[in-house]
Every structure is written in structure tokens, then in C-alpha cells.
Amino acid sequence: MKTLTLLRHAKSGWDDPVARDFDRPLNAKGRRAAIAMGRHWRQIDLDFDHIIASPAVRVEQTLEEVESGYGRTLAPAWDRRLYLASAATLLDVVRELPDTLSRVLLVGHNPGLEELVLLLAGDSDDALRDAVEEKYPTATLAELALGADRWGDAKPGGATLTRFIRPRDLDASLGPDEG
């Protein structure tokens, strides 16, 4: 069975004066959230056979900070198609994966990641799915058991959402700002 994990980049700095959205960096809270997620991954011994990531600056920085908390080097394949990708594009990327891989991490952006989780998980009446539908915050991880032995067989409604971990679940100070 194939396991697909999705990580949304950490909180970025809208105040930073960059010319392109692609170049927007993380803010301080985003950096803290990514480190906390990495520490949690280490605690639950999360591992991947392969990582594919958007090459946007905020994704690169998210992975750098996750690494510092995780204590392991992450060596993603950078794929421009993941930058602001739709759920359909992300699903195409998943379906192209070699079947020799079992556990894959995609790191990218919303709304595509959230839409992909909801598409793959289908209309199940499940608390995790409801949480995704309510909001897929920055630096949040969603894990799906695809219910397939081949990546090419990933289909809408064919997966089970097994984890949905938000930074605020690990540290309340990483939740939404008050006010």
C-alpha cells in the first residue's frame, strides 16, 4: 500500500518586499512552526522514500527548518509543477511516481494540497477530513493511505486520511494570531 504525505509550507512573510510571490520568505512564526514539525516527525519516526517539493523560497526554507528539528537531511527533488499547483496537477505528479516507492512526501502550497486531500479522501464522515475541510494551515502535514499498490491507481475517494497534524497541535503559540 502506498502512503502519500503532504506538507504545506510554513507561514511566509507578506511584509517582506520581494518582487515575485515565488521569492517570498518565511516569517519568524513560520520558522518556529517548521522546526516544531521536524521535532515531531523525529518523535513519531516519520520517514519517506522520496520527497518532491515546490522550488519556491518559502518551501525551501520550510524544509531547511524542518530538517533542523528532524535531525535528518531531506533531499527533495525540486519540481516547478508543484508551485501553486492545482489538485489535478498534484494528482498527475503522484500518478507518475515509480511503484518502487512506498512513502512519498509532497511539499507545496494551498489551495492545491487541501483540495488533493479532500479529493483523495472522498466524502467520508471523518473528524480528520472535517478538520482539513475547515482549514489546512501553514506547516501542516496530512498523511493518506492510498489503498493502492500502484501510484498510478491513486483515485478520488480511494484514500484514507490517517494523520492531520497542525503546528498548533504541537504548541498552542503556533496557532492563529489573536485579534
The pLDDT tens digits of the residues spanning 115-124 come to 999 999 988 7
Q: What number is the average pLDDT over the span 144-150?
A: 95
* C-alpha torsion sign, points 167, 121, 161, 155: negative
User: Higher confidence at residue 147 or residue 109?
Assistant: 109
pLDDT(14) > 80: no
The superfamily (CATH) of domain 3-174 is Phosphoglycerate mutase-like (3.40.50.1240)
Q: Identify the weakest region by mean pLDDT among 74-88, 131-145, 163-177.
A: 163-177
Whether residue 179 is predicted with pLDDT greater than 70 in this model: the reply is: no
The pLDDT of residue 19: 75
Q: Which long-range contacts (CB under 8 A, 24 or more apart) does 10-17 make?
A: 10/34, 10/37, 10/58, 10/61, 10/62, 10/65, 10/138, 10/139, 10/167, 11/138, 11/139, 12/58, 12/138
Q: State the pLDDT at residue 178.
A: 57
Beta bridge partners of 144: 4, 161
Position 34 pLDDT exceeds 50: yes
Arithmetic mean of pLDDT, 133-157: 96
